[in-house]
Chains A and B, each alone.
Chain A
Amino acid sequence: MDPFESIKQTFFQECDELLTDAEQGLLAMEAGDADGETINAVFRAVHSVKGGAGAFGLEDLIRFAHVFETVMDDLRSGKMELTDEVAKTLLRAFDVLADHVAAARDGGAVDEGRSAPILSEMKALIGGEGLDDDDLGGDEDFGFVPMTVAIEGDDAPAFDPPAMDEAPAAFEPMADLAPEPASGARAWRIGFAPKSEMYAKANESGLVLRELARLGEMDVKLDADALPPLDQLSAETAYLHWTVLLTTEADEATIREVFEFVEDDCVLTIEPVDGQAAPPPPSSDLSDDALAAASADAPLDIAALLARVSGEAPTAETAPEPEPVAASEPAADLDVAALIAKAQAPIAPAAPAPKAEPIAKVAPSAGSSQAITPTATIRVDLDRVDRLINAVGELVIQQAMLSQQVMESGLARSSNVALGLEDLELLTREIQDSVMAIRAQPVKSVFQRMPRLAREVADMTGKRVKLVMEGEGTEVDKTVIERLTDPITHMLRNAIDHGLEDPEGRIAAGKPAEGVVRLRALHRGGRIVIELQDDGRGINRPRVRGIAVERGLIAEDAVLSDEEIDNLIFQPGFSTAETISDISGRGVGMDVVRRSIQGLGGRITISSEPGKGSKFTMSLPLTLAVLDGMVVTAAEQTLVAPLSAIIESLTPRAEDVHFVGGKDAVIRIRETFVPLIDVGVALGFRETALPPGQGVAVLVESEGGGKAALLVEAIQGQRQVVIKSLEANYQQIDGIAAATILGDGRVALILDVDALVTTQHRRKPAPRAEKRMAG
């Protein structure tokens, strides 16, 4: 990939993380946390977003982030007080900031009607700081000119991709800056007298002169007159200065730029020498001058040496320790003249002495774009992880088979083989857990989108809400994470839109104006449980019941428990809102939520207390690679029914089974009749159904909400099974979702409950684009 694009991708990835951090900080601030580090963290996050945006010339984002950053800076420095109002403004500004990031990433633009007002609000907060519109738009104020300091003839924007592509040229800029002596060249006399402060900052005269030499023809003259007698020499003082005669096409600004870092720590004079043509460097000067080498490409070791003599600790092996110079005993071997003489000898390579011990951590850079980031993470293709997970699934099955065979062979439980197998089993489980953990991710990535959603829904509905989240670190398989967002989003919308009263209503009910919605994730019994609880009005049972009757969902005289009434809201087509609002609506209700959760092998329930609020609890498998199943026997075949679809199992009495139209069986379960499907017949394994009163009926509910009783011969038990695709080597089979391998090594088919129920209803196979479980 284009390195520029690749870094840009990194930037947007990083933005996601930064925005998460910022939002967390802002939420904490809203909750009253005015801790310096909290504010600082938000500042840093916004600052980093701005910094990256600057590099990519994302103007809108820069402008917005800059104002945001300024507000944070004022808060950080105590210039501004963190009030509730400020915190709320910042949270809304945060949402717009996130929009700006998204727009920059996806190539759109943020609606000015959305961005401008909040921008003005923030500017009002920091008013009187010179951040008027002109400043905000002005590049020079930001330093976000595409390129901060222009190189001659090069107006490439900062981190311009072409510049990266033309790498060798781009990174040898001096080819451009060291022109052939040409007609435009003129001579300059430069006086350069470093102060000791310059050396204290690790600047070196030699390097400055070397840079200068790149600009053109140069003649350097060392003035060591200030050098005191040796016994008065101080290691802390700079004594040497230079006069340079430079013939170059570069202008004064370019020359001055060479001294950019040292300008304040030296006496610098730059003046043009009269006469356009530069005088050729007097050769007599050269022969006498220790620094003649400066005019050549060769580096100026001597300058560095002298610089060290005049004040700095040596770093190169050729330099004697400066300390003895200043010490009471004048070192016999310190002879400046000798040093100068030495420098006249062929100049040593510029590179410093190789490090005595090459550090393994430091990778060679040549031809490699990799550097060492001291983090303990690696990036692995998901495919590889999936292969590993599959292989471990096999290992578990193989181990179970082996154990079963050993037991059947009659070996004593105390035999070494049996004991060894027990250890193997423990180890196998441990490996399985560890491998599944690789793909596990905290639900944080889903939860982190919710605060914004809550604010938006609250804004649109005129509700006031505080979202409290817990257990964001709870981990679940990546395959599940990806499919959690929609149901949680929908439930949260529903809780605010329908669950919470408006502020007036709440106050009238004796509650605080601000409602509280709690979103919580936890592990329970090998599953992940997500709870969404509000302190709103609760389910209005008479109304729900009325609607259900009105829509024909229940009989007018049906006797339902409170719980059953509450769960009516999951019925297809049920919506308690009088009008389908934009927020919870879009024509879908809680039935959609339930369907998508069931699609994940999960369940959702509601408990509610009138006037106090409602709690939705969904329970999901930790992974889609395994399934909790009920193992059943039908037509002598072992089959698996997903536990998530099963409501209950019961032994049908012959008198409860009726035939509609002479053929289609229905079974009465308490007050309702549901279709009775003989699984063996439905799958074509046998012609005639079990006689009424035989076998076991498993009451299931399809994703579509339809109920049916599946008639099987027997239930073997519940088991967690590894899901295997049938399509990998064969093809989709109607009525079968996938396959699995049981402990005896045999393949067992997993029933597609939805297809069985639907087929029964429609009397024809439902065409379906994809299988849900085969995976």
Chain B
Amino acid sequence: MSMIDTLSHTAGARRELIAFRIGDQEFCVDIMQVREIRGWTACTPLPRTPSYMKGVINLRGAVLPIVDLGARLGLATTEPTARHVIMVVSVGGRTLGLLVEAVSDIINMSDDMVQPTPDVACDQVKTFVKGLFAIDGRMVSLISLDRVLPETEAEAA
């Protein structure tokens, strides 16, 4: 019985996360939300959308909106290159792509390792960062994707 098996089969409180880099920071999301990871391809821009909306791409026939996650989190706007990746995630019944620099790790952790976001963080960070934890001496922010798309009129109403 391998170590990995033992870990993944222990308590329900343990879960797998995908960590990725944006600039010099590391973030992670629940692996269950991630559908696939693709290389960057050029987007078709959408008119009159917030700057973090990079546009849409064709994902096997579906029109997939792409969010510049760095810009969405209030960090610098990403200038995508061929090395950037799109994490295709599923959020509230919708499928969308997150533009990030690179996927860095798959982390196996338990919920009790998560520390609350410190008060010093700005509002924009607090909207998305659910908590922080340290792994191998790095700090990783666990983020929630629920509000990553701009609010629609319907949702606002």
Answer yes or no: A and B touching, Cβ < 8 Å. yes
**A→B interface (CB under 8 Å):** 390-391, 393-394, 397-398, 637-638, 683-685, 724-726, 728-736, 739, 741, 745-749
Decide if B46 touches A733 in the complex (CB within 8 Å).
yes
Decide if A747 touches B61 in the complex (CB within 8 Å).
no
Identify A684's interface contact among B47, B64, B154, CB under 8 A.
Answer: B47
| Residues of the B chain whose Cβ atoms lie less than 8 Å from the Cβ of A393 | 61
| Residues of the A chain whose Cβ atoms lie less than 8 Å from the Cβ of B48 | 683-684, 733-735
CA distance A394 to B149 in the complex (A): 26
| Residues of the A chain whose Cβ atoms lie less than 8 Å from the Cβ of B57 | 747
**In this assembly, does B58 line the interface, its C-beta being within 8 Å of a C-beta of chain A?**
yes
Identify A685's interface contact among B47, B60, B62, B63, CB under 8 A.
Answer: B47
| Residues of the A chain whose Cβ atoms lie less than 8 Å from the Cβ of B63 | 724-726, 728-730, 739, 741, 747
Instruction: Name, among B44, B45, B63, B65, the residue most crowded by chain A CB atoms within 10 Å (CB to CB).
Output: B63
Residue of B nearest to A726 (CB): B63
CA distance A40 to B65 in the complex (A): 62
| Residues of the B chain whose Cβ atoms lie less than 8 Å from the Cβ of A746 | 42, 44, 58
Instruction: Name, among B46, B95, B153, the residue most crowded by chain A CB atoms within 10 Å (CB to CB).
Output: B46
Residue of B nearest to A748 (CB): B44
Decide if B47 touches A733 in the complex (CB within 8 Å).
yes
Identify A747's interface contact among B56, B94, B150, CB under 8 A.
Answer: B56
11 A–B contact pairs at CB < 8 A?
A685-B47, A724-B62, A726-B63, A728-B63, A729-B94, A731-B152, A732-B153, A739-B56, A745-B58, A747-B63, A748-B44
| Residues of the B chain whose Cβ atoms lie less than 8 Å from the Cβ of A733 | 46-49
- Beyond A638-B44, A683-B48, A724-B63, 13 extra complex contacts between A and B, CB < 8 Å: A390-B61, A728-B94, A729-B94, A729-B96, A730-B94, A730-B149, A733-B46, A733-B48, A734-B47, A735-B47, A741-B58, A746-B58, A747-B58
CA distance A299 to B46 in the complex (A): 81
| Residues of the B chain whose Cβ atoms lie less than 8 Å from the Cβ of A390 | 61
| Residues of the A chain whose Cβ atoms lie less than 8 Å from the Cβ of B44 | 637-638, 739, 746-749
CB contact list, B133-155 vs A, under 8 A: 149-150, 152-154
| Residues of the A chain whose Cβ atoms lie less than 8 Å from the Cβ of B61 | 390-391, 393-394, 397-398, 724, 741
**B→A interface (CB under 8 Å):** 42, 44-49, 55-58, 60-65, 94-96, 149-150, 152-154
State how many angstroms separate the Cβ of A167 from the closest Cβ of chain B.
42
Decide if B47 touches A726 in the complex (CB within 8 Å).
no
Decide if A728 touches B46 in the complex (CB within 8 Å).
no
| Residues of the B chain whose Cβ atoms lie less than 8 Å from the Cβ of A747 | 44, 55-58, 63
CA distance A394 to B60 in the complex (A): 7
Instruction: Name, among A394, A637, A731, A736, the residue most crowded by chain B CB atoms within 10 Å (CB to CB).
Output: A731
| Residues of the A chain whose Cβ atoms lie less than 8 Å from the Cβ of B49 | 733
Identify A683's interface contact among B42, B47, B65, B150, CB under 8 A.
Answer: B47
| Residues of the B chain whose Cβ atoms lie less than 8 Å from the Cβ of A725 | 63
CA distance A683 to B55 in the complex (A): 13
| Residues of the A chain whose Cβ atoms lie less than 8 Å from the Cβ of B45 | 637, 685
CA distance A391 to B61 in the complex (A): 8
Residue of A nearest to B149 (CB): A730
CA distance A748 to B56 in the complex (A): 9
CA distance A131 to B37 in the complex (A): 80
Decide if B56 touches A726 in the complex (CB within 8 Å).
yes
State how many angstroms separate the Cβ of B94 from the closest Cβ of chain A.
5
CA distance A573 to B24 in the complex (A): 64
| Residues of the A chain whose Cβ atoms lie less than 8 Å from the Cβ of B42 | 746
State how many angstroms separate the Cβ of A496 from the closest Cβ of chain B.
44
Decide if B65 touches A729 in the complex (CB within 8 Å).
yes
CA distance A733 to B149 in the complex (A): 14
CA distance A713 to B157 in the complex (A): 38
| Residues of the B chain whose Cβ atoms lie less than 8 Å from the Cβ of A637 | 44-45
CA distance A726 to B44 in the complex (A): 12
CA distance A432 to B96 in the complex (A): 28
Identify B47's interface contact among A638, A728, A730, A736, CB under 8 A.
Answer: A736
| Residues of the B chain whose Cβ atoms lie less than 8 Å from the Cβ of A739 | 44, 56, 63
State how many angstroms separate the Cβ of A394 from the closest Cβ of chain B.
4
State how many angstroms separate the Cβ of A686 from the closest Cβ of chain B.
11
State how many angstroms separate the Cβ of B126 from the closest Cβ of chain A.
24
CA distance A729 to B96 in the complex (A): 7
Instruction: Name, among A397, A730, A732, the residue most crowded by chain B CB atoms within 10 Å (CB to CB).
Output: A730
Decide if B58 touches A728 in the complex (CB within 8 Å).
no
Residue of B nearest to A747 (CB): B44
CA distance A741 to B55 in the complex (A): 14
State how many angstroms separate the Cβ of B69 from the closest Cβ of chain A.
16
Listed from nearest, the 7 A-B pairs whose CB atoms lie closest are A394-B61, A683-B47, A730-B65, A747-B44, A731-B152, A684-B48, A739-B63
| Residues of the B chain whose Cβ atoms lie less than 8 Å from the Cβ of A729 | 62-65, 94-96
CA distance A732 to B58 in the complex (A): 17
Residue of B nearest to A683 (CB): B47
CA distance A749 to B58 in the complex (A): 12
Residue of B nearest to A390 (CB): B61
| Residues of the A chain whose Cβ atoms lie less than 8 Å from the Cβ of B64 | 729
Instruction: Name, among B58, B62, B65, B150, the residue most crowded by chain A CB atoms within 10 Å (CB to CB).
Output: B58
CA distance A726 to B64 in the complex (A): 8
| Residues of the A chain whose Cβ atoms lie less than 8 Å from the Cβ of B150 | 731
CA distance A248 to B58 in the complex (A): 81
Instruction: Name, among B42, B60, B62, the residue most crowded by chain A CB atoms within 10 Å (CB to CB).
Output: B62
CA distance A748 to B60 in the complex (A): 14
| Residues of the A chain whose Cβ atoms lie less than 8 Å from the Cβ of B58 | 741, 745-747
Identify B56's interface contact among A391, A398, A730, CB under 8 A.
Answer: A730
CA distance A393 to B94 in the complex (A): 21
CA distance A273 to B108 in the complex (A): 94
Residue of A nearest to B64 (CB): A729
Residue of B nearest to A740 (CB): B63
CA distance A528 to B155 in the complex (A): 40
| Residues of the B chain whose Cβ atoms lie less than 8 Å from the Cβ of A749 | 44, 46-47
Residue of B nearest to A724 (CB): B63
| Residues of the B chain whose Cβ atoms lie less than 8 Å from the Cβ of A730 | 46, 56, 63, 65, 94, 96, 149
State how many angstroms separate the Cβ of B85 from the closest Cβ of chain A.
18
CA distance A746 to B59 in the complex (A): 10
CA distance A684 to B47 in the complex (A): 6
CA distance A729 to B95 in the complex (A): 6
State how many angstroms separate the Cβ of B44 from the closest Cβ of chain A.
4
State how many angstroms separate the Cβ of A556 from the closest Cβ of chain B.
41
CA distance A730 to B50 in the complex (A): 13
| Residues of the B chain whose Cβ atoms lie less than 8 Å from the Cβ of A684 | 47-48
| Residues of the B chain whose Cβ atoms lie less than 8 Å from the Cβ of A731 | 149-150, 152-154
CA distance A749 to B152 in the complex (A): 19
CA distance A702 to B62 in the complex (A): 28
State how many angstroms separate the Cβ of B41 from the closest Cβ of chain A.
9
State how many angstroms separate the Cβ of B10 from the closest Cβ of chain A.
36
CA distance A730 to B44 in the complex (A): 14
CA distance A393 to B60 in the complex (A): 11
State how many angstroms separate the Cβ of A765 from the closest Cβ of chain B.
9
CA distance A724 to B47 in the complex (A): 17
Residue of B nearest to A741 (CB): B58
Decide if B149 touches A728 in the complex (CB within 8 Å).
no
CA distance A58 to B76 in the complex (A): 74
| Residues of the B chain whose Cβ atoms lie less than 8 Å from the Cβ of A391 | 61
State how many angstroms separate the Cβ of B132 from the closest Cβ of chain A.
30
Residue of A nearest to B155 (CB): A731
State how many angstroms separate the Cβ of B33 from the closest Cβ of chain A.
14
CA distance A83 to B62 in the complex (A): 62
State how many angstroms separate the Cβ of B38 from the closest Cβ of chain A.
13
State how many angstroms separate the Cβ of A735 from the closest Cβ of chain B.
6
State how many angstroms separate the Cβ of A289 from the closest Cβ of chain B.
78
State how many angstroms separate the Cβ of B155 from the closest Cβ of chain A.
9
Residue of B nearest to A734 (CB): B48
CA distance A741 to B41 in the complex (A): 14
State how many angstroms separate the Cβ of A21 from the closest Cβ of chain B.
43
| Residues of the A chain whose Cβ atoms lie less than 8 Å from the Cβ of B154 | 731
CA distance A734 to B46 in the complex (A): 10
CA distance A555 to B157 in the complex (A): 45
Residue of B nearest to A746 (CB): B44
CA distance A726 to B149 in the complex (A): 13
